[in-house]
Amino acid sequence: MQKIRLGRTGLMVTKTAMGCLPVQRCNDEAAIELLRAAYDGGINYFDTANAYSDSEKKIGLALSDVRDKIIISTKSAARDKETVLKHIENSLRMMKTDYIDLFQFHQVTEVPDPNDPNGAYAAALEAKEHGWIRHIGVTSHRVDIAEQCIASGLFETLQFPFSYISDERDLALADKCREADMGFIAMKGLAGGMLTNVRACHAFMKQYDNVVPIWGMQRMEELRQWLDAAEEDPSMDEELSEFIRKERQELAGSFCRSCGYCMPCPHGVDIPTCFAAYNTRYTDSFYSGMKAYIMCTTLKTNPTNASKCRQCGKCEKHCPQGIPIRTMLKEAVRELETPKY
């Protein structure tokens, strides 16, 4: 399987990598089987986080015996030195390892202060001195913060939402990272579940030789699709280019990345959960469409649903994507009144 250099970390990671958030939804046996199959299939890079419940534990159960042959990145959303160090120690214990290849500050809303002796960055430096972590990176959902992180020179990698429906400013981050010799890790390469054409997604990422997509996988079928795509290695051609053009026209500008910056809602609406259902496209074998899905599940069974929206607009002030949240929630509620399932 093709490997690329992850910026100035010097780490050689497989271009097809595994995002391990979804394995928290698997039982131990299924998670171990999936992770081991990914390794046996040639994947050497696994990305997780302290916040992903038992994902780290499952990585330890599945891959500790091949630790020297894989690359692991994890994250902490803590912003103080003491808590970050506790998270790192816990990650080491859960994954049955004595070092983390890449430690990342999780979903930052501002650049961590490297001069704060009690801050998160000080914790990372101390952990690096102890040999607990080897490289320092950052993740964000806000393009302005991502640009500041690149310019700061403090980080060896950036992880950011990146797919073929990303806008031009987001796409430009890949080149900015190349210029700074930073590794670029693409999360949400399926745009939260809206993109379903594996060949198109693979071909798009292939155009960026410094970008490592971490595909979220929960089922063996999903893993097989990505391993097959890596073997075929499709390039962008006229057919895929036209497919992506139509997808961008249909989808760009209105999808939720589940960053959570819109929360908390003062009226109790679980906005990311509503949008996760609203934005995910399902085949007819499941339901008649994404709106039918939101009617059948999220809005009816979730007590913090879209019908509680009072149109105050607080959420939209904090949404980095500028999504018309109030309008889309109103549409969902109207659809609930006349369900199509």
Is residue 147 predicted with pLDDT exceeding 90? yes
Among the listed ranges 81-95, 148-162, 311-325, which one has the minimum average pLDDT value? Answer: 311-325
Token reading at 213: 């997509």
Question: How does DSSP classify residue 339?
Answer: -
Backbone angles phi, psi at 237, to 5 degrees: -125, -175
Range 285-312 average pLDDT: 55
Supply 263's token pair: 């929360």
Q: What pLDDT is stored for residue 182 in this prediction?
A: 98
Q: How far apart are CA 91 and CA 205, in angstroms?
A: 29
CA–CA separation, 20 and 87 (whole Å): 17
* Residue 193, both tokens: 């579940």
- Scored b (16 or more CB within 10 A) or e, 78-115 reads bbebeebbebbeebbebbebebbbbbbbbbbeebbeee
> Of 99-103, 220-224, 269-273, which range is least confident?
269-273
Q: Which residue has the tokens 């579940």?
A: 193
Say whether pLDDT at 275 is over 80.
no
Alpha carbon distances (Å) from 78 to 54, 87, 156: 18, 8, 19
Q: What is the pLDDT of residue 264?
A: 87
The rounded distance, in Å, linking the Cα atoms of 17 and 213 is 6
pLDDT at 201 over 90: yes
Q: What is the DSSP letter of 158?
A: E
The string of pLDDT tens digits covering residues 13-25 is 999 999 999 999 9
Distance CA 284, CA 17 (A): 30
Q: How many angstroms separate the first and last alpha carbons of the chain?
A: 43
For CA atoms 303, 306, 310, 315, the dihedral sign is positive
Q: Average pLDDT of 307-335?
A: 84
Amino acid residing at 338: T
Mean residue pLDDT of the chain comes to: 89
User: Pairing between strand 12-14 and 71-76?
Assistant: unpaired
Mean pLDDT of 239-249: 94
How open is the CA angle 86-89-93, to the nearest 5 degrees?
135
pLDDT band at residue 319 using 50, 70 and 90 as cut-offs: confident
Is pLDDT above 80 for 179?
Answer: yes
Stretch among 42-46, 176-180, 296-300 having the lowest mean pLDDT? 296-300
Q: Is 174 helix (H, G, I), strand (E, B) or coil?
A: helix
Q: Which residue has the tokens 């992770």?
A: 35
Nearest Cα to 235, choosing from 261, 263, 265, 200?
200
Q: At what angle do helices 28-40 and 55-63 cross, to 10 degrees?
A: 60
**The pLDDT of residue 185:** 98
Indicate if the pLDDT at residue 279 is higher than 80.
Answer: no
**Single pTM value for the model:** 0.86
What is the reported pLDDT for 68? 97
DSSP 8-class letter at 254: -
